[in-house]
Amino acid sequence: MLKHVISDSALLKSLAGSDEYNTFVYSEPVKIKCKIEFAKKIHNSQKACRQTYPARMFCYEDVKLNDIVIYHDNNYKIIQVNSYKDFDGNTMFYEVFMI
């Protein structure tokens, strides 16, 4: 369905577990085909102005919460995953929200 749109590539580091200090341990990066769209948000406060770049990604690979996507040398943490299925119940693609 989205084969003509998914033209980017990124690296996916899957969450492998946690170590004895309860810090996340990730697997080696794997190259995936995807399409990433960015939105720029500016947070103004009295002390500082901060910019965040939330992103939405479409891909065919199974991704999970707290995985890391590396795109143009920036790390993005996955905060939401939506899977879209066809009428037969097969997953067509994933819509992933990152920050």
Give me the residue spans of the domains in the chain: 8-98
- 57: helix, coil or strand? strand
Angle at Cα 7 formed by Cα 37 and Cα 99, nearest 5°? 30
pLDDT in tens, 24-41: 999 999 999 999 998 877
Check if the beta carbon of residue 23 is closer than 8 Å to that of residue 10.
no
Within 10 A of 26 (CB to CB), how many other CB atoms are there? 14
Inter-CA distances, 32 with 28, 61, 87, 97, Å: 13, 7, 26, 16
Architecture of domain 8-98: Beta Barrel (2.40)
User: What distance in Å separates the CA atoms of residue 95 and residue 19, rounded to the nearest whole number?
Assistant: 29
* 6-17 average pLDDT score: 94
pLDDT at position 1 over 90: no
* 14-26 average pLDDT score: 92
